[in-house]
Structure 1
Amino acid sequence: MKGFETIIEKKRDSILRNSLLSDEFINFVQKNKRPFDEMMSYYKCAIMEVETKFRVLNEQYSLEYDRNPIEDIKSRTKSMESLMRKIRRKNIPLTVASIEENIHDIAGVRVICSFPDDIYMLADCLLSQDDITLIKKKDYIKNPKPGGYRSLHLIISIPIFLQEGKRMVTVEVQLRTIAMDFWASLEHKLRYKKDIPEDQAHYLEEEMLECANISASLDARMQHVRDVLNGTSKDVFL
């Protein structure tokens, strides 16, 4: 019986190998890979455009107000594995047109700000630019997620200029304070821990929510200190 299973397994491997290495399959991959590579290059170009806009705003505020509202800018494009999983989850056709229409977070730019007020100031400045189109806005700062996550999410459309002309590309922009980013980074790592007992999982959920509330309180206090130092708040104590 064991010998028979070995024969079947070898036969299966042979069939898979011949199928995956066939000229037809290789031609199919090569034919469809280039459009996906081009699509991903458009998203990378869009990221560069968005990053430049925020760096210009940061430089302007540095010159005019002697302060930098942006602490850091991070960016990424979705990995092919993550993209394929989202395509499967959304049950959309495996075409470039369908992907561009239905998935709006392939390109992501995360802007880390000093204070909560800076988030809304930068968002308003970005959205006031005449080449930016707002597609969707989700304010998880004023309305945090149940677990405590806070951030301002903007889905925007921005033009990139190619040899053949202008092309509009969607980018997800997340704006957070340092405290929000610190909490979200740790929460992301803890979320993927395996085999957590139910009682510990409940404790961790409550603890992470409490940490999020402490983080929000810290943001508010630090902003208040800044306002006092700038003379824009008459209240010395919170």
Structure 2
Amino acid sequence: MTSNQVEQIKKMKNEFTRFMLMYKFALNELETKIEILKEEFHFLHDYNPIEHTKSRLKSPESIINKLYRKGGDITFHSIKSNIKDIAGLRITCSFISDIYRINDMLKNQRDLKVLEVKDYIKNPKPNGYRSLHLLVEVPVFMSDREEHVCVEIQIRTIAMDFWASLEHKIYYKYNQSVPTNLLRELKEAADSATALDQKMESLHREIAVVKEEQVDNIEESLAQLIINNQKFSIPESLLSLMGNDQNDSKNIK
């Protein structure tokens, strides 16, 4: 191998590394946004709708194989144009309503551009797959330019995620040729997961009603802040100031 060939390979490797880093940085941006939302809910609300998140980058081999299937050219521009799921983020929730709540919060992020929404919850796939898919464009600021990078976000409940994981393992084991009886049982399992999600959603609403009716120790809880496991008492002067501000706003109305 000549020195010129070595230099060419090094250059291509650096360019591909930089290309993949763009998607890594886009995922980092999204994960930071999710962490901020999780902390906000932890401090200001009764529960956190985000159970956990998982991110992944497609391997170079998977990217090239998918590009071949799509008939695209082997260029960075072609990869970026034809393959929109190089970077993926999965958000798992407890309840169906949380999925749409998180969806709305992400759409309200001014620096995120939602390119596409596929609602497989309201319109499940024939095999029973259910999830909400968003394709978003994330701004990434590199050392010499700004890039707009696509990331696929999947939002689903724990039950949906468990079913999808099982389905993936079965398809992998049978190399896509799954016996008919297993496909039927998978669909039945998907229906059972849907019934469980609906029951849990109903219980969630009932618990919310009970919480609204409980007012014990409300004054004590309102006068305290807990941040990073530190408890702070809100001074009475500040409480009275906030009360006056509310009265002033009512008078203005």
TM-score range, shorter chain: 0.7 to 0.9
> Which of 128, 148, 153 is the aligned partner of 1:173?
153
- Corresponding position of 2:21: 41
- Residue 201 in 1 paired to residue 166 in 2? no
Structure 1 residue 75 displacement after superposition? 0.2
Structure 1 residue 128 displacement after superposition? 1.2
Distance 1:38 1:176 in 2: 31
- Corresponding position of 2:166: 186
- Do the aligned partners of 1:107 and 1:172 also contact (CA within 8 Å) in 2? yes
Relative to the length of structure 1, the TM-score reads 0.83
Tell me, which stretches of 5 or more residues in structure 2 are unaligned? 211-253
- Do the aligned partners of 1:35 and 1:96 also contact (CA within 8 Å) in 2? no
Which letter maps to 1:151?
Answer: S
Which letter maps to 1:226?
Answer: H
Structure 1 residue 223 displacement after superposition? 1.1
Distance 1:179 1:161 in 2: 37
Q: Can you list the C-alpha shifts for 1:121-163, whole angstroms capped at 9, x where unaligned?
A: 0011101111110111101111111111111000000112222
Tell me, which stretches of 5 or more residues in structure 1 are unaligned? 1-20, 233-238
118-127 or 21-30: which moved more?
21-30
Which letter maps to 1:141?
Answer: I
Moved over 4 A (4+): 21-28
Map 1:1-238; keep pairs closer than 5 Å: 26-194=6-174, 201-231=179-209
SS of residue in 2 equivalent to 1:136 = strand
Which letter maps to 1:116?
Answer: I
Distance 1:194 1:76 in 2: 24
Relative to the length of structure 2, the TM-score reads 0.78
Identity %: 44
30-39 or 46-55: which moved more?
30-39
Structure 1 residue 60 displacement after superposition? 1.4
Structure 1 203/44 Cα, relative in aligned 2: closer, same or farther at 3 Å? same
- Matched residue pairs, number? 210
SS of residue in 2 equivalent to 1:164 = coil
Measured on the aligned residues, the alpha-carbon RMSD in Å equals 1.8
